[in-house]
């Protein structure tokens, strides 16, 4: 059995993302599909003394319809400003001494990169290592998928040798489960949470923030306390 997740890259995602991929053997970064303005590709939220705040990587997008995420370039200087906001927000967090220097190092590496997807992968891989998740991370490019929507996702699953595909619930509106079943791939639907609260800085608890909030507050991603299987899973 081989379970895969195929998700577009996002900037320092929330803990639900890491919960999903932690249940898989392989996470395929799905970045040959179109960039979507206002999506999580280049932004996320942190908690600050003045409330929850977006931090957004400035990007240059072309007029080309359906520009792939993997081609989106970063515009201007941004990394130092982002780290300054993270440092100010979390300097009093329990794990700040251990992890703020690491995060600063990542931002110093990120400021030398030109492509958004490279920055997202840089943070992703380090967080996966920090959380000690046992998962292979690859890119959809290596599987040369064709088609659109269900056909494209299925082609990627088959090229990766997947027997099970774990998807977020939002894909239910378009995913053709019969197509997957006919091809011998079992579709499973992720059920996020409910996630336990943890001690958090700056007021009332907010779970819809970047996973770095959880890490800096000394909670990892809280994955150990979560259910062992996604909805409909047959077990790995």
- Confirm whether 236 is domain-assigned: no
Other beta carbons within 10 Å of 120: 25
Instruction: Work out how many domains the chain is built from and give that number.
Output: 1
For residue 50, pLDDT beyond 70: yes
For residue 3, pLDDT beyond 90: yes
Calculate Rg over the CA atoms of the chain: 18
- Confirm whether 49 is domain-assigned: yes
Domain that holds residue 7: 3-225
- Confirm whether 235 is domain-assigned: no
- Confirm whether 233 is domain-assigned: no
Q: 191 and 167 in contact (C-beta within 8 Å)?
A: no
- Confirm whether 92 is domain-assigned: yes
How remote is the C-alpha of 82 from its chain's centroid? 18
Distant-in-sequence, close-in-space partners of 105: CB < 8 Å, separation ≥ 6: none
Q: What is the mean pLDDT of residues 191-218?
A: 93
| Position with higher pLDDT, 167 vs 231 | 167
How does pLDDT run across 205-221, given as a tens digit for each residue? 999 999 999 999 988 76
- Confirm whether 231 is domain-assigned: no
Distance between CA atoms of 137 and 131, rounded to whole angstroms? 14
Instruction: Please report, for the chain, how many H helices and E strands are present, in that order.
Output: 7, 9
**pLDDT score recorded for residue 66:** 83
CA distances from 152 to 24, 144, 147 (A): 19, 10, 5
- Confirm whether 9 is domain-assigned: yes
- Confirm whether 20 is domain-assigned: yes
Whether the pTM exceeds 0.85: the reply is yes
């Amino acid at each position: 059995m081989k379970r895969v997740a195929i998700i577009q890259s996002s900037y320092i995602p929330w803990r639900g993302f890491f919960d999903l991929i932690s249940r898989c053997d392989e996470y395929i970064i799905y970045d040959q599909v179109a960039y979507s303005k206002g999506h999580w590709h280049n932004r996320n939220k942190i908690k600050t003394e003045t409330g929850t705040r977006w931090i957004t990587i400035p990007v240059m997008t072309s007029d080309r319809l359906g520009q792939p995420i993997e081609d989106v370039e970063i515009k201007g200087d941004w990394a130092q400003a982002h780290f300054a906001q993270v440092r100010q927000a979390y300097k009093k967090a329990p794990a700040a001494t251990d992890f703020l220097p690491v995060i600063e190092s990542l931002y110093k590496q990120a400021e030398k990169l030109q492509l958004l997807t490279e920055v997202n992968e840089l943070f992703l891989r380090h967080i996966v290592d920090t959380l000690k998740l046992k998962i292979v991370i690859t890119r959809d490019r290596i599987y040369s998928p064709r088609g659109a929507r269900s056909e494209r996702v299925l082609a990627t699953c088959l090229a990766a040798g997947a027997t099970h595909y774990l998807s977020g619930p939002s894909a239910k509106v378009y995913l053709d489960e019969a197509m997957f079943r006919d091809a011998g791939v079992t579709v499973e639907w992720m059920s996020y949470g409910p996630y336990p609260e943890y001690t958090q800085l700056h007021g009332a608890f907010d779970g819809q923030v970047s996973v770095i909030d959880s890490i800096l507050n000394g909670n990892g991603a809280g994955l150990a306390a979560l259910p062992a299987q996604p909805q409909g899973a047959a077990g790995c």
